[in-house]
Every structure is written in C-alpha cells, then in structure tokens.
Chains A and B, each alone.
Chain A
C-alpha cells in the first residue's frame, strides 16, 4: 500500500475562518511534507517533519501552522488566510528524511484544493 490520503478534497473558507487540512499514511514512513501549488506552477515545499519533529520550515507565514501528532498523521492548521493563499495543498511522505545518498521515494496524496474568499 503506497497511499497517502488527504481530507478534505476541496475547502472554501473566509479570511476570518479557522480550518485544518489532514494527511494520513500507513506505510510506516517517518518523514512527512507539506507542499503548496499555485495554478500552472510547480509544487513549492512548505514544511518537513522527521520523526514527528519539524525539520524544515521554508519561511512560511504564521497563518499556516503545521502539526504532526503521530507518525501517521500530519495536519495543517489555517487561520486568517488571504485570497492569494488559494492553491492546491499537497502532502507527501517518505521512509525517512533523505540525505543526498538516500534513494527514499516521496509518495504524494491527491491534494486539497483550497479557496479563500
């Protein structure tokens, strides 16, 4: 099973709302990732978790708050978003946080399509 699931598939929220995106994998992977993808652009890395600890934050605004409550679950909490935050949010996982010598493959979920009004 190489499946990463993401919920919800679509989310529409106002700028004052608080919402959360959820990502789950049951492959025993210990590295999990959040990417943001704007229309017609490549995915951009946001956060990386390794063994439930935040390893990389790519200078993401604080209105995005990641959380990794256990090794199978990754959340992205959203608060006071702007319309320009509308995008496809992708979650991925890999066996571990790879180094340059590692060949660990990243598996991606289908994404959550977020619209901020």
Chain B
C-alpha cells in the first residue's frame, strides 16, 4: 500500500501559486519524499525530492515539516501546462532495493 495521503483534486488559477499537500505520517528517518507528475497520457516526470530540508529547483519547491510527517509541493506560478496528476511518493525499502510505488495522486487543474 502507498504510504502517502493526498487530496484527490485541486484547482488553481493560472499565475497563482499551487500548493499541493501530502501526508506521510509513518515515514522512516531514512526515507525520502519524491514528487512526480503525469500529464495526460504521458510518462511520469520527476519534479523534486527531499529528506529533511526544504528544496527548490527550477520547477518547484518542496517544504517538509520539521517532524517530516507531511510536505507541500509548491509550483510558484502555475500555468495551464501544469495541469496534471501529481504523485507524492515515499521510497519503500526492500531487500532488492526500491522502486517507486505510486499512490492515487492529486489531480491539479489550472484554469485561466
């Protein structure tokens, strides 16, 4: 089972910041939080990841709470092309290594 909880859907006006929350209350100390997105009928695209500290790259910012039980992905100026399903993923440790286990994700709809 996925170890994260996300809202099913969110709306955002174009040009505004989109804040996507994720709950991962059972995260272990050595597990990273990853964010991917999937635009309709395309392969998932990596956005950002973090362990404890807040992270920023050219696509987004990731804010992780001090207790690491939740995080927020921020798209600072959403555009129509940011309409997608956003997946928050915690790496699951396994004997042979790990792969991404996707939860249901949040469908973000950006409108003009």
Contacts and interface: CB of A to CB of B under 8 A. Distances in A.
Interface of A: 4, 31, 33, 42-45, 48, 50, 55-56, 88, 90, 92, 96-103, 105-111, 113
A100 B99 contact: no
Nearest to A113: B41
Contact of B100 (A45, A50, A55, A101): A45
Interface residues of B, number: 28
A106 B98 contact: no
Given A50-B96, A98-B98, A110 B91 contact: no
Interface in B57-112: 85, 87, 91, 93-94, 96-105
B79 to A, nearest CB: 21
Contacts of A103: 32, 49
A33 B55 CA distance: 27
A108 B45 contact: yes
A33 B99 contact: yes
A109 B97 contact: no
Given A98-B91, A99-B93, A48 B102 contact: no
Contacts of A48: 96-97, 99
B43 A4 contact: yes
Nearest to A108: B43
B98 A99 contact: yes
A95 to B, nearest CB: 12
Interface in B9-67: 28, 30-32, 38, 41-46, 49
6 contacts: A55-B96, A56-B99, A98-B97, A101-B30, A106-B100, A110-B43
